[in-house]
């Protein structure tokens, strides 16, 4: 799934980025899908009386939550356990995996069904369960497809957005032996048929969680297919694996956050199903799991919490809007990132979660256009954090060649006379350019391989302006003399 | 009014006509223009690359060069944003923080300065052709410049302004990004330029020459027929 085992993340990124940036048909498909998203989102966004204020309010809620994580998480734990739920605090992915594995073994679990949870991807939960002999089936349609394909999600909200219908049909035909079809309804029915059986057979359902509601002691799950309701409601054990930053103080906060998540995420007013889960089956109730465990996952989120400059990255509600507007994402696609969380927000947080030096290239791979920050529903300063990651990476460990280059650059730019001289020599140097053009010695080859480079003007502005000033001065003088 | 020009290094060397056009426009409006010769680069390249110390040493020279300016006008939204938005962060907690904030407060992007400081929306330009406008990201999202250039262009006689679908999409320049990730950068240019070509415009106009270097680089290589012009060049045309 992750490329870390084979090649260093940065070389994997570079080669995949080059390849996908030249994959015209795939880029076009992604652009098409995201332009539909944009239309829907703009329409829904416009129904907010004041999106800006809504965004500021959402940001305030998350700010309060993130800056009082300890208080609200403990409040959640108290309220949730009071109804018989169990809470496990997982410092890292190993602890989280071990807890869920041991639980499955202890409770003699045979089959597991799982609804969409990026935290599961983050800790490589499925691989761990499968390695121990448990069968796990993803119940979200997109995740179901990706699981059949043996591929990581392409986008953390739209896992198989890169696939065409015929590719999905071929996949089902190959893996499930179903007849080929081009109808989305029929494709959905194929998955549904497999999944219905799975819900009934599974004795453990694993989910993520969109919000942890402190005062209610509940987990909020938002979805469009109803698969999460069956995943958590039918099996006898429910495990929700949720990042600690998902906490919000009050149930009432969801009145704003749910519509904002739906609008920013998919362009819907609200997703099809919004459910609250507050504990296992209570005495006198007819359905629901016998046991309900919430695994609160840190896995280095507290590193981000410790950084006051970038702490607001924990506001993220994983709507994926920043991916949907990102020109980098649209051109390189999700898999290129090699991360659980793709796109701009992934480039901000992954270095904190998995090591700055190994993942700093993601922060470098940005034109800093700021479309992500503009669209973020909770006001995270995304693209400026990319700049801060770049700075932190250099402060920690400068790259020798770059270090030298910027020292030389700074030497020149601190000396106006030397710089002015350089502007005079530039046109001469440009005249020599054809001698090396296109060869390995060509200093601007990385540019000119795909684009033309402008020739320096015969005279720099400063030279032209000087002449202009003296002409004007003499004109004024002669006017004065004539007078 | 005494207007001090901040002429980014690549405009100085590659596109001097952009800055000369600004001089012409301001002088025709009756203002005096000055150009402190000890200005060089805003320091954005090392800043964006993470080399803030080197950026600071270059930037402190600009603080000195523009110390006596009343208002500073930049023909690049990106370099303007460096002065206006990033200097305060770059110098945060440093000895020159106050100077950086003062510089920030008196810095203007060219079109914003004309429309919102000088209250001019028609500079008396005449320019024949069909044109589309590219919003440079730094101008658009760091400085909030969207309407000012359009206001000015709508007043240009003979000019037909058409919006492209991807007006607000990044052209893929992004400074050192364009050479560090040339394939991604070029793919972005392709998207941008395809949208430009769809408008059937003769010209693509922007308030940022750095974007135009990228856009013209792609257009000249692949299309050839659409010309790139800086807003100031169009506004200086008579």
pLDDT in tens, chain B (238 residues): 999 999 999 999 999 999 999 999 999 999 999 999 999 999 999 999 999 999 999 999 999 999 999 999 999 999 999 999 999 999 999 999 999 999 999 999 999 999 999 999 999 999 999 999 999 999 999 999 999 999 999 999 999 999 999 999 999 999 999 999 999 999 999 999 999 999 999 999 999 999 999 999 999 999 988 999 999 999 999 9
Measure CB to CB from residue B188 to each of A331, A392, A419 and give the nearest one.
A331
In sequence order, what are the residues at sequence separation of 6 or more whose Cβ sits closer than 8 angstroms to the Cβ of residue B74?
A: B5, B6, B7, B8, B80, B83, B107, B108, B109, B110
Alpha helices in A50-183 (DSSP H): 51-66, 69-82, 93-106, 118-122, 125-131, 141-149, 165-176
- At which residue do the structure tokens 């002065």 appear? B83
3-state secondary structure of A418: helix
Q: Where on the phi/psi map is residue A84: left (φ > 0), alpha (ψ -120 to 50), or beta?
A: left
Tell me if B2-116 shares its fold with B124-231: yes
Query: How far B120 CA sits from the closest chain A CA (Å)?
Result: 24
Query: How far A387 CA sits from the closest chain B CA (Å)?
Result: 6
Cβ of A423 within 8 Å of Cβ of B13? The answer is yes
Query: How far B43 CA sits from the closest chain A CA (Å)?
Result: 8
**What number does CATH give the domain A68-299?**
3.40.50.10420
3-state secondary structure of A62: helix
Q: Report the distance separating Cα B55 and Cα B138, nearest Å.
A: 18
In sequence order, what are the residues at sequence separation of 6 or more whose Cβ sits closer than 8 angstroms to the Cβ of residue A109?
A: A103, A134, A203, A204, A237
Cα-based distances in Å from A363 to A270, A360, B82: 32, 5, 19
Query: If you count residue pairs, one on A and one on B, with CB atoms under 8 Å apart, how many are there?
Result: 193
Instruction: Name the strand (E) or helix (H) holding A68.
Output: none
pLDDT (tens digit, 0 to 9) for every residue of chain A, 483 residues total? 444 456 899 999 999 999 999 999 999 999 999 999 999 999 999 999 999 999 999 999 999 999 999 999 999 999 999 999 999 999 999 999 999 999 999 999 999 999 999 999 999 999 999 999 999 999 999 999 999 999 999 999 999 999 999 999 999 999 999 999 999 999 999 999 999 999 999 999 999 999 999 999 999 999 999 999 999 999 999 999 999 999 999 999 999 999 999 999 999 999 999 999 999 999 999 999 999 999 999 999 999 999 999 999 999 999 999 999 999 999 999 999 999 999 999 999 999 999 999 999 999 999 999 999 999 999 999 999 999 999 999 999 999 999 999 999 999 999 999 999 988 888 887 788 777 777 777 778 889 899 998 888 989 999 999 999 999 888 877 777 665
Q: Report the distance separating Cα A85 and Cα A92, nearest Å.
A: 21
Q: A220 — contact with chain B (CB < 8 Å)?
A: no
pTM, to two decimals? 0.95
Query: How far A304 CA sits from the closest chain B CA (Å)?
Result: 19
Q: For chain A, positions 309-348, list CB contacts with chain B under 8 A.
A: 327-328, 330-332
Alpha helices in B29-180 (DSSP H): 44-48, 52-65, 77-81, 87-90, 97-105, 110-112, 137, 147-154, 177-180
pLDDT at B70: 97
pLDDT at A4: 46
Q: Are strands B227-230 and B203-206 parallel, antiparallel or unpaired?
A: parallel
For chain A, report the end-to-end CA distance as a whole number of angstroms.
83
- Which residues face B32 on adjacent strands? B2
Q: Where on the phi/psi map is residue A177: left (φ > 0), alpha (ψ -120 to 50), or beta?
A: left
With beta carbons less than 8 A apart as the criterion, state whether B49 and A405 touch. Answer: no
Q: For chain A, positions 15-54, list CB contacts with chain B under 8 A.
A: 17-18, 21-22, 27, 31
pLDDT at A3: 44
- The radius of gyration computed from the CA coordinates of chain A, to the nearest angstrom, equals 27
Instruction: Name the strand (E) or helix (H) holding B68.
Output: none
With beta carbons less than 8 A apart as the criterion, state whether B108 and B5 touch. Answer: no
Measure CB to CB from residue A451 to each of B47, B58, B218 and give the nearest one.
B218
Provide the CATH topology of domain B2-116: Rossmann fold (3.40.50)
Q: For chain A, positions 422-451, list CB contacts with chain B under 8 A.
A: 423, 426, 446-447, 449-451
Q: For chain B, positions 88-117, list CB contacts with chain A under 8 A.
A: 89
Q: Are strands B2-6 and A86-90 parallel, antiparallel or unpaired?
A: unpaired
3-state secondary structure of B223: coil
Which letter does DSSP use for residue A362 in this model? Answer: H
With beta carbons less than 8 A apart as the criterion, state whether A410 and B56 touch. Answer: no
Query: How far B118 CA sits from the closest chain A CA (Å)?
Result: 23
CATH architecture of structural domain B124-231: 3-Layer(aba) Sandwich (3.40)
Residue extents of the structural domains in chain B = 2-116, 124-231
pLDDT at A28: 93
Q: A355 — contact with chain B (CB < 8 Å)?
A: no
Q: For chain B, positions 157-216, list CB contacts with chain A under 8 A.
A: 168-170, 172-175, 177-189, 191, 213-214, 216
């Amino acid at each position: 799934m992750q490329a870390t085992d084979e090649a260093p993340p940065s070389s994997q990124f570079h080669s995949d980025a080059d390849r996908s940036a030249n994959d015209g048909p795939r880029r076009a498909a992604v652009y098409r899908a995201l332009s539909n998203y944009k239309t829907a989102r703009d329409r829904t966004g416009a129904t907010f009386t004041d999106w800006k204020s809504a965004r500021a309010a959402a940001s305030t809620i998350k700010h309060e939550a993130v800056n009082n994580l300890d208080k609200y998480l403990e409040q959640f734990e108290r309220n949730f356990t009071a109804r018989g739920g169990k809470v496990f605090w997982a410092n890292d992915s190993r602890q989280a995996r071990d807890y869920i594995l041991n639980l499955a073994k202890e409770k003699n679990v045979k089959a597991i069904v799982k609804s969409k949870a990026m935290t599961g991807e983050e800790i490589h939960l499925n691989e761990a369960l499968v390695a121990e002999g448990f069968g796990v089936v993803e119940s979200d349609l997109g995740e179901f497809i990706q699981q059949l394909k043996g591929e990581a999600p392409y986008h953390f909200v739209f896992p198989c957005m890169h696939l065409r219908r015929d590719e999905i049909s071929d996949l089902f035909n190959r893996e499930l032996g179903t007849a080929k079809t081009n109808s989305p309804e029929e494709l959905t029915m194929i998955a549904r048929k497999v999944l219905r059986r799975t819900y009934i057979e599974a004795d453990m359902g694993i989910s993520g969680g969109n919000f942890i509601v402190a005062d209610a002691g509940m987990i909020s799950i938002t979805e469009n297919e109803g698969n999460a309701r069956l995943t958590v409601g039918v099996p006898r054990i429910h495990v929700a694996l949720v990042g600690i930053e998902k906490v919000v103080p009050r149930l009432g906060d969801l009145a704003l956050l749910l519509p904002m998540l739906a609008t920013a995420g998919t362009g819907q007013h609200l997703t099809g199903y919004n459910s609250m889960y507050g504990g296992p089956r209570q005495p006198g109730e007819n359905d629901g799991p016998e046991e309900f465990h919430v695994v609160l996952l840190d896995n280095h989120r507290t590193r981000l919490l410790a950084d006051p400059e970038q702490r607001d990255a924990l506001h993220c509600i994983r709507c994926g809007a920043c991916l949907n507007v990102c020109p980098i994402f649209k051109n390189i696609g999700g898999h290129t990132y090699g991360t659980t969380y793709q796109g701009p927000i992934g480039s901000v947080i992954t270095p904190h979660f998995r090591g700055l030096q190994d993942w700093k290239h993601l922060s470098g791979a940005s034109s800093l256009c700021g479309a992500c920050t503009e669209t973020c529903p909770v006001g995270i300063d995304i693209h400026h954090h990319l700049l801060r990651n770049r700075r932190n990476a250099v402060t920690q460990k400068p790259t020798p060649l770059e270090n030298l280059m910027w020292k030389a650059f700074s030497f020149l730019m601190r000396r106006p006379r030397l710089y002015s001289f350089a502007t005079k020599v530039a046109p001469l140097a440009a005249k020599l350019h054809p001698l090396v053009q296109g060869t390995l010695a060509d200093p601007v080859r990385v540019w000119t391989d795909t684009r033309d480079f402008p020739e320096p003007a015969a005279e720099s502005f400063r030279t032209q302006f000087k002449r202009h000033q003296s002409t004007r001065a003499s004109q004024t003088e002669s006017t004065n003399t004539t007078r | 009014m005494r207007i001090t020009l901040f002429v980014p290094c690549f405009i100085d060397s590659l596109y001097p006509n952009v800055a000369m056009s600004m001089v012409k426009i301001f002088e025709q409006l009756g203002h005096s223009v000055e150009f402190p010769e000890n200005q060089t680069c805003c320091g954005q390249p090392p800043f964006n690359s993470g080399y803030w110390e080197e950026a600071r040493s270059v930037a402190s020279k600009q603080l000195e060069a523009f110390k006596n300016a009343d208002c500073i006008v930049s023909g690049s939204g990106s370099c303007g944003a460096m002065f206006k938005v990033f200097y305060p962060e770059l110098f945060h907690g440093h000895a020159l923080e106050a100077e950086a904030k003062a510089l920030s407060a008196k810095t203007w992007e060219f079109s914003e300065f004309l429309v919102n400081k000088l209250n001019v929306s028609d500079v008396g330009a005449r320019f024949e052709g069909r044109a589309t406008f590219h919003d440079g990201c730094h101008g658009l999202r760091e400085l909030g410049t969207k309407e000012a250039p359009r206001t000015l262009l709508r007043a240009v006689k003979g000019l037909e302004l058409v919006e492209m679908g991807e007006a607000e999409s990044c052209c893929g320049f992004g400074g050192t990004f364009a050479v560090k990730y040339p394939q991604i950068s070029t793919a972005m240019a392709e998207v941008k330029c395809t949208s430009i070509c769809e408008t059937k415009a003769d010209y693509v106009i922007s308030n940022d020459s750095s974007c135009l270097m990228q856009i013209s680089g792609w257009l000249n290589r692949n299309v050839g027929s659409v010309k790139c012009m800086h807003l100031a060049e169009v506004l200086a045309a008579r």
